[in-house]
Amino acid sequence: MTDGMLFVGLGNPDKEYAGTRHNLGRDVMRLFEAKGLDMALVSFFYPATFMNDSGTAVADRLRYLRLEPRRLLVAHDDAELLLGTMRLECGGSARGHNGIRSVIAALGTPDFNRLRLGVGRPPAGEDMHNFVLGQFSEEERKVVAETTQQACEELEQFVRKAGTKI
């Protein structure tokens, strides 16, 4: 499958984490996959490991599919971006994201595609750990719903530009 692509949605596997900020990448990727577009050369993967230990599972799946890291796209939450913003880019540092740090370490390179989905910073006095593992407020969910649709459109365009059948 050397012409294919691997799309990974990072998040935590347990039900208690469903709908949390930290699972936004996983949630967006699942919604994109559910659109049912004809993407014969795109494989979707949701590691059964916790976010911070995702790297080995992602690297193993990439090797199994015989794909180079440049054929990988990882969707993940990003506290450095404001809620409702996103960036699709290739390479760069982990920017403090332990799940991305794990993927970089397992692949031995930072040169893979990322869909960074903004969740914003915690309010004053709240620590990052509790913030990213927390649920979105009702108001935030409205923003997330809109951003999710935009992210799905970005992913569709990415696949088309990459020359993969869609």
Which entry of 22, 76, 97, 129 is annotated as an active-site residue?
A: 22
Residue of 9, 13, 11, 21 whose CA lies nearest to 144 = 21
* 44 among annotated binding-site residues: no
Nearest residue to 25 (alpha-carbon basis) of 45, 5, 3, 41: 45
Give residues with Cβ within 8 angstroms of 26, minimum separation 6. 9, 10, 11, 46, 75
The secondary structure of residue 90, as a DSSP letter, is E
- CB-CB contact of 54 with 99 (8 Å): yes
Residue 11, classified by CB atoms within 10 Å of its CB into exposed (0-12), middle (13-18) or buried (19+), is: buried
Residue 76: active-site member: no
* Residue 64 is labelled as binding a ligand: no
Contact 102, 54 (CB under 8 A): yes
Specify whether the CB–CB gap between 151 and 28 falls below 8 A: yes
**Which residues are documented as binding site for tRNA?**
17, 50, 52, 98
Catalytic residues: 22
**Which residues are documented as binding site?**
17, 50, 52, 98
